[in-house]
């Protein structure tokens, strides 16, 4: 398949180091695109999870190497740390090699539209009702990912394509939809206060493009459930990229299997 060129790409919530990271799909995506500017919109490395159990499969290593290769080959790469890679937030305004670190920024498209770009954990206080609700939500999400993992192992055994069971269940849980709505409102309120056209974020693992009180809300999704990204083409148009759908519809897209050796702490 011919490589697709983007003026800008947004990727978030990759969660390298987490067993639910779909690094093999991300590698296939990165091998099939070229880009002028790449925004890594937080939770790229799951430092939270790695403090509990160090896990770094070869496919995760290859993702890191691919990103560094991209940055060295002329693509501008900007890393906007989130909550799972929080230690990097203190380096905002600095650079590691060819990668700039910023907590948030404003991106202007070729059509002149201005968007606030940030991970989105800045709005956690507007989404959660309290510590117990936050704890309950975390445990519920862990359960969704557990079900998603085993369901897709069953699909793989049946030689079926990957499908996000977690995403499907989450869409049908009222509490999850209410939290997503509160998050969307908080993001757009911030963009409106800054007199911007919209906001581009990640954090909640729910790809979406919509209008909220005249402000464009765009969530680029994740690489644990949805395998999605946001792209700006050479005319300045923005569109969500659902890589699973592309893989399922193109037989000549190769997905690197995640059967490489895994490194774990003793």
What is the DSSP annotation of 97-129?
Answer: TTEEE-SEEEEE-TTS-EEEEE-SGGGHHHH--
Given this model, what pLDDT does residue 264 score? 36
Given this model, what pLDDT does residue 234 score? 95
Digits of tens for pLDDT over the chain (266 positions)?
689 999 999 999 999 999 999 999 999 999 999 999 999 999 999 998 888 888 899 999 999 999 999 999 999 999 999 999 999 999 899 988 899 999 999 999 999 999 999 999 999 887 764 443 454 455 666 777 777 777 777 877 777 777 777 777 777 776 678 888 999 999 999 999 999 999 999 999 999 999 999 999 999 999 998 999 999 999 999 999 999 888 877 644 444 443 333 333 32
How many angstroms separate the CA atoms of 190 and 196, rounded?
9
Order of strands across the sheet that contains 198-201:
104-108, 114-118, 198-201, 215-219, 208-212
Given this model, what pLDDT does residue 125 score? 81
How many angstroms separate the CA atoms of 170 and 231, rounded?
24
Given this model, what pLDDT does residue 162 score? 75
How many angstroms separate the CA atoms of 116 and 103, rounded?
11
- Can you list the domains of the chain with their CATH numbers? 4-249 (3.60.21.10)
> Which tokens is 105 given?
């920024």
Instruction: Give the distance, in angstroms, between the CA of residue 60 and the centroid of all CA atoms in the same chain.
Output: 15
> Which tokens is 252 given?
């000549």
Contacts of 169 (CB under 8 A, 6+ apart): 144, 147
- pTM given for the model: 0.84
Determine the 3-state secondary structure of 191 from DSSP: helix
Given this model, what pLDDT does residue 220 score? 98
How far are the Cα atoms of 25, 101, 213 from residue 194, in angstroms, in the given order? 36, 21, 14
How many angstroms separate the CA atoms of 148 and 146, rounded?
5
């Amino acid at each position: 398949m011919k490589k697709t060129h983007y003026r800008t790409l947004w990727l978030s919530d990759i969660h390298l180091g987490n067993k639910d990271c779909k690094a093999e799909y991300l590698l296939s995506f990165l091998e099939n695109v070229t880009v002028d500017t790449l925004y890594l919109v937080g939770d790229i490395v799951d430092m939270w999870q790695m403090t509990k159990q160090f896990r770094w499969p070869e496919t995760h290593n290859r993702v890191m190497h691919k990103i560094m290769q991209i940055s060295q080959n002329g693509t501008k790469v900007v890393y906007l740390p989130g909550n799972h890679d929080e230690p990097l937030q203190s380096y905002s305004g600095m650079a590691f090699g060819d990668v700039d670190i910023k907590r948030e920024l404003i991106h202007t498209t070729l059509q002149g539209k201005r968007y606030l770009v940030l991970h989105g954990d800045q709005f956690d206080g507007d989404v959660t009702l309290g510590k117990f609700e936050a704890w309950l939500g975390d445990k519920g999400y862990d359960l969704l990912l557990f079900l998603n993992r085993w369901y897709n192992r069953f699909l793989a055994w049946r030689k079926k394509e990957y499908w996000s069971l977690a995403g499907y269940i989450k869409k049908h849980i009222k509490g999850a939809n209410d939290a997503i709505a509160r998050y969307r409102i908080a993001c757009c309120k911030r963009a409106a206060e800054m007199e911007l056209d919209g906001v581009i974020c990640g954090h909640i693992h729910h790809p979406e493009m919509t209008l909220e009180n005249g402000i464009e809300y765009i969530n680029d999704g994740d690489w644990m459930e949805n395998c999605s990204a946001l792209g700006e083409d050479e005319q300045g148009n923005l569109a969500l990229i659902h890589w699973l759908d592309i893989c399922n519809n193109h037989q000549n897209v190769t997905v690197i299997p995640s059967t490489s050796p895994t490194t774990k702490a003793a």
